[in-house]
Amino acid sequence: MTGAGKLDRRLRFEARQEIDDGHGSPVAGDWLPRFTVWGKRQFLRGGETVLAARLESRQPAILTIRDSRQAREITADWRVVDTGDKRIYNIRENPKLSDNRGFLEMLVEAGVAT
């Protein structure tokens, strides 16, 4: 169970800005901050996939945040910046409601290209 005391990481969610390439087609621009919330980070351990990822300096984790209107806008093409240790995570799946339905959980991965 996740309580407010376990939400100990300050997480900034960012989405890519779409800009015009000069020929009428949108292209990915800079990362723009969308919102910042308190969350919980749980690194994944065990399993062949996770162990292989660590050998490649990738670190998968599960991030948990409170469910909100803003949080429901998050998609797998966003990224998350932990404002404490400045680690950048790519979101690997759209957030899902947790078992108690008051929180959203998402698989993220640090150490990979954005």
What domains lie within the chain, and their CATH numbers? 4-110 (2.40.10.270)
Distance CA 39, CA 57 (A): 23
pLDDT by residue (tens digit) across 27-44? 778 999 999 999 999 998
> b or e along 4-29 (b: 16 or more beta carbons within 10 Å of the residue's beta carbon)?
eeebebebbbbeeeeeeeeeeeeeee
Instruction: To the nearest 10°, report the CA torsion of 73, 113, 61, 37.
Output: -40
Q: Angle at the Cα of 17 (from 85 to 83), degrees rounded to 5? A: 10
Q: What pTM value is reported for the model?
A: 0.81
pLDDT by residue (tens digit) across 67-105? 999 999 999 999 999 999 999 999 999 999 998 889 999
